[in-house]
Amino acid sequence: MAHDASVLLGAQQLAGTTVNPRGFGKEIAKAQLSFGIAGKRSNETASETPSFSRIAFLAVTEREVALIRIGSGGPNGRLEEVLARVPRSEIASAEVGGGVLRCPVTISFSRGGSWQLEVSRLIRRQAKGVVRALGY
């Protein structure tokens, strides 16, 4: 694993991966096609996903799943702030979808709602490791 959130979370990290907000890949493509003018993010991706700009770290411990903001430096940036924590007992399902360039990652909660994220196809295996660590 490139990052270890154990100290920040106060528990041993079992799995983790960098993630982007859902729709991030489409925004990049749109920006490249329109010479740097990106459109608004679609409302269809509205969820309980904590807000973050470009990249975050999704970590799993024995008791919870957490989304952590990564500072400047891209995927190699420092883990800075816990954006959200959810007890594993509240997770109803977790899955990584397929995709040519970007793969959706969805974590659904038993109380309703979900976190909708995406990962690069290049790190899909890490995302699947997170889903396996959650028991799905």
Each residue of 88-117: pLDDT tens digit?
999 999 999 998 899 999 999 999 999 999
Burial class (CB in 10 A: 0-12, 13-18, 19+), 114: middle
**Residue that the structure tokens 């979808």 belong to:** 97
Quick: pLDDT tens for 12-56.
999 999 999 998 655 555 555 555 444 444 444 346 899 998 899
Q: Which amino acid is at 58?
A: L
Q: How confident is the model at residue 2 (pLDDT cuts 50, 70, 90)?
A: confident
In whole angstroms, give the CA distance from residue 64 to residue 42: 29
Helix ranges (DSSP H) in the chain:
6-9, 24-33, 124-133
Question: In terms of CATH architecture, what is 6-133?
Answer: Roll (2.30)
Picking from 70, 115, 118, the residue whose alpha carbon sits closest to that of residue 96 is: 118
Give, in degrees to the nearest 5, the angle at Cα 95 between 89 and 99: 160
According to DSSP, residue 50 is labeled P
- Domain borders along the chain are 6-133
Residue with tokens 């991030």: 24
Q: Which H helix or E strand runs over 2?
A: none
Residue-wise pLDDT tens digits, 60-97: 999 999 999 998 877 778 999 999 999 999 999 999 99
**32: CB partners within 8 A, 6+ apart:** none
Amino acid present at 108: S
